[in-house]
Structure formats: C-alpha cells, structure tokens
A and B are shown apart, each in its own frame.
Chain A
Amino acid sequence: MSDFAQTLITAIAIGSLYALIALGYTMVYGILKFINFAHSDIVVLGAWSSYTLASRILPKLGLNPHNPESVPPIWVAAVVLLAAMVFCGAVGFTIERLAYRPLRRAPRLNVLITAIGVSLLLQNVGQLDYVFGASPQKMPPLLPSWELASFTFGEGETARRLVIGLVDVVIFATATSLMLMMQYLVFHTKLGVAMRAVSFNTDTAALMGIPVDRVVSFTFVLGSTLAAAAGFLYVMKYPGMNQPAHTIWVLLGLKAFVAAVIGGIGNVRGAVLGGFVIAFVEQFGAFYISTNYRDVYVFTLLIVILLVKPSGLLGSPLREKV
C-alpha cells in the first residue's frame, strides 16, 4: 500500500514535469508542424544554467554549495528559477529567429533536420570545457529537505514509511500554476486567440492581420521558459546532474514528446494528460515489472498509440489546437 502511494506521489511530481515539457513540443508542433528536437536541450540548458547560477550565488551568501546541509533562503530558489526561465526564453527566441524562421516555407523534413542540428549544437556546445563541461555535477540544495507528511504502515520488520517531501509539492505546485497560466493565456487572451489562429491556418491568420512572426517567436519563448522551469524542477528532485549530451536528457525530452503525441499533438490539454499518463506508465511499470525496462514501456506505449489512435487521446479532426 505505502509502496503504491509512494510511486503515485513520484508519478504525479514527474508527470507534471513531463507535462511542462510536453507543452513546449505541442505548441511548436501545433503552429509550425514540426518536432522541435532541440526542445529537450532547452530543458538541459535550464537545468545547467540553474546549476551555474546557484553555485555562483551561494558562496556570496556565505554558504557552501557543496554542503547539502546549508539551505539558502527561499528567494534564492525563486531568483534562480526566474533567471533560468528568462535566459532560456532568450535562447529559444534566438534559435527560432536564426535557424527556423528562414525555413518557414521549406519542407517539414528540412526543418526537422535543422532541429536535430540545433539539438546537437546545444548539447555539444554545452559540453565544452569553458561552458558547462563534460562531467556530471551535483546541484546545490535550494530547498529545505522537509518532509511535509510522513506515514508509517505496518510494524516491525515490514514497516514502510510514506513520505511526501517538500520537493514533490513544490514541483507539483509550480508546474500546475505555470500550466494554469498557460491555459489562461491560450484560451482567454488576445494573444492566445492569435496563437490558435496561426495554428489553425498560418496564411489565413496572416491575411487577417495577425503578426505571424511575432506569434511564432512568442510561442518559442513561452515553450522555452516552461522547459527551463522543468529543467530547474527536475534537478531539484534529482540533484545528480549528468553532462549536457548525456542520453538521459534526450530520453527525458523524448518521453515528454511521447506525452505530447499520446495526448494528441497540438492539443494543450492533451499534452498535460499525456505527461501524467507517461509518468504513471513509467513509474508503475518500473515498480511492478522491472526498473531496467522503464524506457521500453514508454516507447512501446507510443508505438501502440500511434498504431491504434494516431491522433492521440484527445486529438480529433476538429480539435482545439495551439
């Protein structure tokens, strides 16, 4: 029972991260109809820039970034998060401007290849010695390691403890509030209407006087800031950070993309749903079957969904796309 509950808590926390990342994939796909392969690298950038910033700030406050006991005041976490989001937003803007915009009318395959190129570029520039380096690092703690709630099941030898950590709650709360802001933005603002219009038909939207280029730029900035937040939250949960080109990051991005596809690509709510579905499949599969194959479950699910219902769970011919 407690194992089940513990897995559930992890799945919810991780699911909200997948959902955050999936939103970026789904928005770009909705508008420009290509898989932004470099999106996962923005997550990495978010994580590593958070690390770089935190390990610069903490010593200034007289704290040792390598000491897990020293926890800075809460505003430090907020500043690092915001800074990472702003930085990644700027990078996302630049990438769209330089690499994707000139290909607006090019075949989709060409844009996909460019995206792979951008992804490789970000990964390998990040690995340079004078950028982030090619060795793993440990993220300094920015949140106290409080246990908000703790339950004990059973007695004696078989006793199991169920812990709800502050980290899980912060992840879920931050991710959820960001997603709610997204929802509001997409469905209740003029900008959101413009995004949906561009997604529905770029040419018609342009004829209606919608500044397509600005909307696309904005979409990239928005997606990238969400990705940065996801990267930051991810290393809060798992402080052992792999080097930027490590497979684990690409897999993180891929799973989020799979989440977007499963939910119905182009569909904002679908991406959120897909994020949780993926996390549940992965976490419970790992728990009940075998941890070793956790990546296999996700891809198997993807292939099944694509063959059975290629438009995804919430996708339909007349879906609300962004």
Chain B
Amino acid sequence: MVGTVSLSTKNREQKSELRTGNALLGLLPIAAGLGIATLMHFFLPGLIGQFYARIVTDIGITIVLAVSLNIVNGMTGQFSIGHAGFMTLGGYTAATITYYGSMFLWDSAGKHGGFLGSGEWLFIASCVAGGLFAAFAGYIVGLPSLRLRGDYLAIVTLGFGEIVRVILQQTGKTIDDVEDFKNAGWAQLIPPPVGGAVGFDGVPKYTNLFWVYAVLTITIVVAYRLKGSSLGRAMISVREDEIAAQAMGVNISRQKVLAFVMAAFFAGVAGGLFAHERGVIISPKDAGFQRSFDYVIMTVLGGRGSITGVTLAAVLLTALPEMLRDFEQYRLIVYALLLIFMMLVRPQGLLGIHEIWNFWQRPKSSVKSASPEAQV
C-alpha cells in the first residue's frame, strides 16, 4: 500500500512556481480597494440616488459583519450567535469617543471637517478603538470556547449579547450640552452616559461610502489571506477534527481564541460604522440575538467558510428586504424556512467551503492547477 518507499532520493526539481513577495506588493489589493471606495464615494450617489446609496452602505457594513463572523463559524467551526453583541459594543465605544471627543476638541458634537478632514480621522480612529474593545470582549468570550463544545458555546455567546444589551440599557441620558459636559465630574462620565434604552442619539454622522468600503476591503483581504495561509489551515483543521488537529501540532485553544478576537475586532469596527450611519440610532436592542441571527443566517446560507458565498448572501439578504418593503412581515419567515431547507438539502451552504471562482477551476485532479490560494 505505501508503495515502494525506496523511491526518489533525488531532490525534486522545484516544479511549483515559487511566490516571492514583499510587503509593498502585498498592499496592492488594499490600494485597489481604496481606489474603488473613493470612486464609489464620489460617483455612486449621483448615479443611483441617495436611497440606493444608503442601501449600498448598509450592504457594505453587513458584509463586514458576515465575513468576520465567518472566521469563527465558518473557518474555525465554532458557533457564535452573539456577533451583534460585539458589533454593538464596538459601536457604542466608537460613538462615545466621537461624540464626547468632538465636544472636548471642538466644543460641539456635530460633524467637523470635510472628506478626510480631522473629524473623519477622529471617527475612523474611534472605529478602530471600538474594534479593539470588541476584540478584548471577544477574547473574554472566546475563553469558555476552550472548554465548551459547540452548542454550549452558542448559548454563552447568546448570553453575552443579552448581557451587553441589558448593561447598555442601564446607562444614563446623554449629555447634549457642551457646558454641562465640560463641567461634569468623573462620576457623571463613568460609566459613560450613552442614552440608555432609547439609544445613543446625536452621534455625528460620519459614515460614508468611502470609509465603509475601505473597511470592507481590509476585512475581505484579511479574511482571504487568512484562509489560504498556515494560520487559516490551522483554523480549518479545528473545524474538521479537533483531535486530529491537536495530534498534528495545532494549538486549538490558540486558534479558537484568535478566531474569536479577529471576528470581534471587525464586528466592532463595523459597529462603529453603523453607529455613525445617517438615519441610524444605535440602541441596546441592536446587541440582541435577532440581529445576531441575521448574520448567522448569512454565513449558513453562503457557505460556512466561503468568503464570496457569505458576501453574496449578505448582499442578497440586505438588498431584498429593502427592495420589497411590504415583505417585512414575511422576511423572517422566509429566512427561517431557508435555514431549515438548507440544512435538509444543502447543509454546506450555497458555495460550501469553496470560493466562487473555484467552480471555474475544475477539474482539480491535475497537479498543474497549482495552489488554490491565488494571490490577493
């Protein structure tokens, strides 16, 4: 069976093309994404109108959330249903920084500066801070995953989202007067007054197509590069078989926590974008499980592990309800039936673990088709 092992002692001639790269080349796709984001920002609203531009913005944020959740649920095979908790935590953190930060810096919570102006830099820095805070929470929530099997973990993450919701509901009224804010003592500012159950109103509306699609670009590039790398393979091996993964030297605890932290980070950044979006008042109920379920449905539908599949599902499930407003009452019924139907008929999701272009690359049995991880 093992064939004659006595084979080729000669060194293989290097038949696979070796890929050398440098960091500069590695930044190319990100630069391209930023270029597209800039073009979208300046021309898309003119082309399709504000209403549809708003939907395109929503879609961008949703993709970031779905693709990041997919790192935990799809690649690593854990089952988090508290993703909206991380999003909301990041959103509130970011909104607190811009809202009170603007008051502190510029004596007003309103927008400051134009495109790429100082206000926007504060905004994006606050989103990153929100991401980091969410990542920290992800680390805390990821810890039980080391000891818990899939479905228990689901309950813990669900409980996490609910805890975030309840805690945010207890926060005080926002301070909307600059003088009051400047005179307020620490006792009034800690914990930060972020509006309680009614939500955090008055957050400057910085979110625009450029920033959303810039963040989206980075999210997708990171997720994609992760998937094709050693780190990503280690995550996937955890999903496939934990015992075998350990036996192959994979530190499964580290992979699970890493997945949680990364997913939470991007969810937190997306939360920042969401909190600063025009027409949105982020509120505690955004942390609830209903919103988390939306993202779970997208990962299940798109294919657990498939970045393009999940992106596609996020686009469809965000755009369709917007297009069909009367459909609202039936939206979740259809989602529910889709979930049940998929599990019965195609449990691996529409694209399974594949990316959309894999379907053109068949047949795969030839060695010539080189490595599956094309360079992004």
Residues in chain B within 8 A of chain A (CB atoms) = 77, 79, 81, 144, 147-148, 150-152, 154-156, 158-160, 162-163, 166-167, 169-170, 285, 288-290, 293, 296, 300, 329-330, 332-333, 335-340, 343-344, 347
Contact in complex: B156, A121 (CB < 8 Å): no
- Residues facing B in A100-159 (CB within 8 A) are 102-103, 106-114, 116-121, 123-125, 127-129
Q: Which residue in B166, B169, B347 is a CB contact (below 8 Å) of A106?
A: B347
Contact in complex: A296, B167 (CB < 8 Å): yes
A169, CB-defined interface residue at 8 Å: no
Contact in complex: B152, A118 (CB < 8 Å): no
Among A13-21, A81-89, A176-184, A249-257, the stretch that binds chain B is A249-257
Taking CB atoms, residues of chain A closer than 8 Å to B156 are 302-303, 306
Contact in complex: A254, B167 (CB < 8 Å): no
Complex Cα distance A103/B158, Å?
A: 24
Contact in complex: B166, A35 (CB < 8 Å): no
* Nearest CB in chain B: distance from A105 CB, A: 11
Q: Which residue in B148, B288, B343 is a CB contact (below 8 Å) of A247?
A: B288
What are 17 contact pairs spanning A and B, CB under 8 A? A99-B344, A107-B347, A108-B150, A113-B300, A117-B338, A117-B339, A120-B335, A121-B340, A124-B332, A124-B333, A247-B288, A254-B158, A258-B155, A258-B159, A292-B166, A293-B167, A303-B156
In this complex, what residue of B is CB-closest to A118? B340
In this complex, what residue of B is CB-closest to A33? B151
Contact in complex: B166, A302 (CB < 8 Å): no
A218, CB-defined interface residue at 8 Å: no
A310, CB-defined interface residue at 8 Å: yes
Contact in complex: B151, A116 (CB < 8 Å): no
Contact in complex: B344, A109 (CB < 8 Å): no
Contact in complex: B333, A303 (CB < 8 Å): no
Contact in complex: A120, B293 (CB < 8 Å): yes
Contact in complex: B343, A103 (CB < 8 Å): yes
Taking CB atoms, residues of chain A closer than 8 Å to B333 are 120-121, 124-125, 128
* Nearest CB in chain B: distance from A36 CB, A: 10
Contact in complex: A123, B332 (CB < 8 Å): yes
Complex Cα distance A116/B155, Å?
A: 12
* Nearest CB in chain A: distance from B147 CB, A: 6
Taking CB atoms, residues of chain B closer than 8 Å to A306 are 144, 147-148, 152, 156
Q: Chain A contact residues: over half helix, strand or loop, or mixed?
A: helix
List 7 additional contacts besides A35-B154, A120-B339, A302-B156; criterion CB under 8 Å. A124-B330, A257-B155, A258-B159, A261-B152, A295-B163, A299-B163, A306-B156
Residues in chain A within 8 A of chain B (CB atoms) = 34-35, 99, 102-103, 106-114, 116-121, 123-125, 127-129, 245, 247, 250-251, 254, 257-258, 261, 292-293, 295-296, 299-300, 302-303, 306-307, 310
Contact in complex: A114, B340 (CB < 8 Å): yes
Q: Which 7 A-B pairs have the closest CB atoms?
A: A117-B339, A299-B159, A120-B336, A121-B336, A117-B340, A124-B332, A114-B343
Q: Which residue in A112, A121, A245, A303 is a CB contact (below 8 Å) of B337?
A: A121
Q: Give the total number of A-B pairs whose CB atoms are below 8 A apart.
A: 115
Q: Which residue in B166, B288, B330, B343 is a CB contact (below 8 Å) of A113?
A: B343
Contact in complex: A292, B337 (CB < 8 Å): no
A112-B151 contact in complex given A103-B344, A121-B337, A307-B144, C-beta closer than 8 Å = yes
Taking CB atoms, residues of chain B closer than 8 Å to A109 are 77, 79, 150-151
Contact in complex: A108, B336 (CB < 8 Å): no
Taking CB atoms, residues of chain B closer than 8 Å to A34 are 151
* Nearest CB in chain B: distance from A254 CB, A: 7
Q: Which residue in B152, B154, B162 is a CB contact (below 8 Å) of A295?
A: B162
Q: Which residue in B155, B162, B332, B347 is a CB contact (below 8 Å) of A120?
A: B332
Complex Cα distance A109/B162, Å?
A: 22
Contact in complex: A35, B155 (CB < 8 Å): yes
A116-B296 contact in complex given A121-B333, A254-B155, A306-B147, C-beta closer than 8 Å = yes
Complex Cα distance A111/B32, Å?
A: 41
Taking CB atoms, residues of chain A closer than 8 Å to B170 are 292-293
Taking CB atoms, residues of chain B closer than 8 Å to A106 are 343, 347
Complex Cα distance A35/B149, Å?
A: 12
* Nearest CB in chain B: distance from A301 CB, A: 10
In this complex, what residue of B is CB-closest to A103? B343
A114-B158 contact in complex given A250-B289, A306-B144, C-beta closer than 8 Å = no
Complex Cα distance A121/B341, Å?
A: 12
Complex Cα distance A120/B289, Å?
A: 11
Contact in complex: B162, A251 (CB < 8 Å): yes
Taking CB atoms, residues of chain B closer than 8 Å to A302 are 155-156, 159
A108-B151 contact in complex given A296-B167, A303-B144, C-beta closer than 8 Å = yes
